[in-house]
Structure 1
């Protein structure tokens, strides 16, 4: 193995190895690269590394959609039930990708909404045959099972949207809403600009947390919804 000369080269090499194996033994990689295990731990902690050091191994640091879907299920269901009460009858609703909004999608498909506009492949699969669904096209992003058009505002322009529900991976103490991936930002902001009413739906565990990609402040929306209630008039 060629010894990389710096952080960037080490990250590139480790990322290439993780594309073909689920994990790497930290000690072995350190020896092969001629650096200390602490150096590799610092590499993993650097922005955009894409891997993590856990239990003596280097593993991909990726958003696990399936694992997140299983987390806090009851809280997500309760948040979705509260969000449903905000939706007028026969509304056209934009739904973001995320692991809480599938619960809201199921409720909307029972007769409250007339149409769902989404870029989320999970929702499109869930709702097919149950309600009119408009799936936005674009670059497919596997971690969030979503499509992202090059020009989100143009992609949304043909649709009447009465309400938009966005997901968030975190909301810090100053009201900054954030998500896990930079590529999510443009479409979230386009939906926020398009819809007359916009809410974030999340479980309470996301409050006080911060994810890498900030996309709005809660004061930019009409409010947010968790299992604890509907919070509006936030400025």
Structure 2
């Protein structure tokens, strides 16, 4: 009897800025909330406690939680309130517009919260591409670079060839990597299966409880 092949190792994609921002927000919320619970008087400690129960899960959900895990068999998307597992065989396409999305063959769209689109990053990449093209043009007209390619001066004063191809924003590079993986693995036997969706009750439950408690305290106050 042959054993099933081991699952390939996940590539993990997360937003560094979201992680940093989420950590700082949690520190501020925790500091203010704990101080109000310990030092407050009257209803203040209860209001602060309810706010903590509401805000900590929500901030964690939208900043620390989102991640995308990709291996040779499937794409696992951990969004704020759901975990979606999409085998590569069920992925129709990966789209990038104002957000990065996965479109399943059933026509259902799933947003990749962990890979946000950076319009600023795209503009920066476009400017770099334009500068590279300009440098190649000048280098070619002066006969610089191997096979007529452009050259630029580095920090040490040396001349090195300009990189080939257009510059891409970081999140666009990630989507390119995922598209390559999709193209390579979409017909593989181990990449077939059904899309599964699981709701993150461990996030929604405390947040709802905190919201209800806060509403009750405000209503009776």
Question: Which TM-score applies when normalising by structure 1?
Answer: 0.24
Structure with bigger helix share is 2
Structure with bigger RCO (C-alpha 8 Å, 6+ apart): 2
Question: Which TM-score applies when normalising by structure 2?
Answer: 0.26
